[in-house]
Amino acid sequence: NVKKGKVLLTDSTDNLVFNYTDQLTAGIDLNGMIVINTDDVLLICNKNSVPKIKKLVESLEGTEHESLT
């Protein structure tokens, strides 16, 4: 596991969890996950889904969430 910020993981392996907020991010039985928690957005996906993140960000253009791109 790779963790940053207030993160508590139990029975979890091979995860990337970055928390940029003051709130605790907790996970149980996670395996191969990416969790990015910011003041604006919470992203949760499988490590295998990383290529899809770009498509997700691009899909925000022209929507009410465009400011997040």
What is the full per-residue pLDDT of the chain (69 aa) written as tens digits? 999 999 999 999 999 999 999 999 999 999 999 999 999 999 999 999 999 999 999 999 999 998 888
* Closest C-alpha to 2, from 29, 40, 32: 32
| pTM exceeds 0.85 | yes
DSSP structural state of residue 43: E
- Which amino acid appears at position 21 of this protein? T
pLDDT score recorded for residue 68: 84
The Cα–Cα gap between 17 and 6 comes to: 10
pLDDT score recorded for residue 67: 85
Q: Which two tokens stand for residue 37?
A: 């928690």
* Closest C-alpha to 6, from 15, 34, 21, 14: 21
